[in-house]
Structure 1
Amino acid sequence: MSIGLSIRSWVGSTLFGISYVVSTVVAGVVAPPIALCVPGIHRQKVLNVHNGILLFLFRIFCGVTVNVQGRENLEKGRAYVIVANHQSEWETYFLQVLVTPLSTVLKKELLSVPFFGWGLRMVQPIAIDRSQKSNALKQILKQGKERLLGGRSVLIFPEGTRVRAGEEKSFNKGAAMLATSADKAILPIVHNAGEIWPGKKWLKQPGTINVIIGEPIEVEGKKTGDMHEEMEVWMRENMAKVTTK
Structure 2
Amino acid sequence: MPQATPMQYLRATLYYAGFYPVTILYSLICLLLGPVLPFRARFTLFTGINYFYMLWLRICCGVRVRVEGRENLPNDGSAFVAVANHQSEWETLYFQTLIRPQAVVLKRELLKIPFFGWALGMLKPIALDRSQRRGALRQLMAQGREKLEQRIPVLIFPQGTRVKVGEMGRFNKGAAMLAVDSEVPVVPIVHNAGRYWPGKSFVKRPGTVELRIGAPVETRGRSVEEVHAEVVGWLEREMRAIGA
Q: TM-score, normalization: structure 1?
A: 0.95
Residue 36 of structure 1: how far off its partner (Å): 3.0
What is the CA deviation profile of residues 168-204 of structure 1, one whole-angstrom value per residue up to 9, with x for unaligned ones?
2010000000001111110100000000000101011
Distance 1:2 1:213, change over 3 A: closer
Cα pair 1:42 1:101 within 8 Å, conserved: no
Residue 9 of structure 1: aligned partner:
8
Cα pair 1:24 1:115 within 8 Å, conserved: yes
Cα pair 1:188 1:213 within 8 Å, conserved: yes
What is the CA deviation profile of residues 2-57 of structure 1, one whole-angstrom value per residue up to 9, with x for unaligned ones?
99x82331121111122121122112211222233332122111011111111110
The whole-number CA distance in structure 2 between the counterparts of 1:103 and 1:193 is 21
Residue 208 of structure 2: aligned partner:
208
Q: Letter of the aligned partner of 2:5 in structure 1?
A: S
The whole-number CA distance in structure 2 between the counterparts of 1:42 and 1:151 is 15
Q: Letter of the aligned partner of 1:149 in structure 2?
A: E
**Is 1:123 equivalent to 2:97 in the alignment?**
no
Q: Letter of the aligned partner of 2:69 in structure 1?
A: G
Residue 130 of structure 1: how far off its partner (Å): 0.4
The whole-number CA distance in structure 2 between the counterparts of 1:179 and 1:172 is 13
What is the CA deviation profile of residues 43-92 of structure 1, one whole-angstrom value per residue up to 9, with x for unaligned ones?
11101111111111011100112110001101211221110000001011
Distance 1:2 1:83, change over 3 A: closer
Taking the TM superposition and a 5 Å limit, the aligned residue runs for 1:52-131 are 52-76=51-75, 77-131=77-131
Runs of 4+ deviating beyond 4 Å: none
Cα pair 2:42 2:123 within 8 Å, conserved: yes
- Return 5+ residue gaps in structure 2 as ranges: none
Over the aligned positions, Cα root-mean-square deviation in angstroms equals 1.6
- Return 5+ residue gaps in structure 1 as ranges: none
Cα pair 2:184 2:220 within 8 Å, conserved: no
**Is 1:180 equivalent to 2:191 in the alignment?**
no
Q: Secondary structure at the match of 1:123?
A: coil
Greater displacement, 53-62 / 24-33 = 24-33
Provide the aligned length of Structure 1 versus Structure 2. Answer: 243
Q: TM-score, normalization: structure 2?
A: 0.95
What is the CA deviation profile of residues 130-156 of structure 1, one whole-angstrom value per residue up to 9, with x for unaligned ones?
010000000000000000111111111
Cα pair 2:63 2:209 within 8 Å, conserved: yes
The whole-number CA distance in structure 1 between the counterparts of 2:63 and 2:117 is 27
Residue 36 of structure 1: aligned partner:
35
The whole-number CA distance in structure 2 between the counterparts of 1:73 and 1:103 is 19
The whole-number CA distance in structure 2 between the counterparts of 1:150 and 1:72 is 22
Q: Letter of the aligned partner of 1:22 in structure 2?
A: P
The whole-number CA distance in structure 2 between the counterparts of 1:60 and 1:176 is 38
The whole-number CA distance in structure 1 between the counterparts of 2:180 and 2:140 is 13
The whole-number CA distance in structure 1 between the counterparts of 2:231 and 2:24 is 37
Q: Letter of the aligned partner of 1:186 in structure 2?
A: V
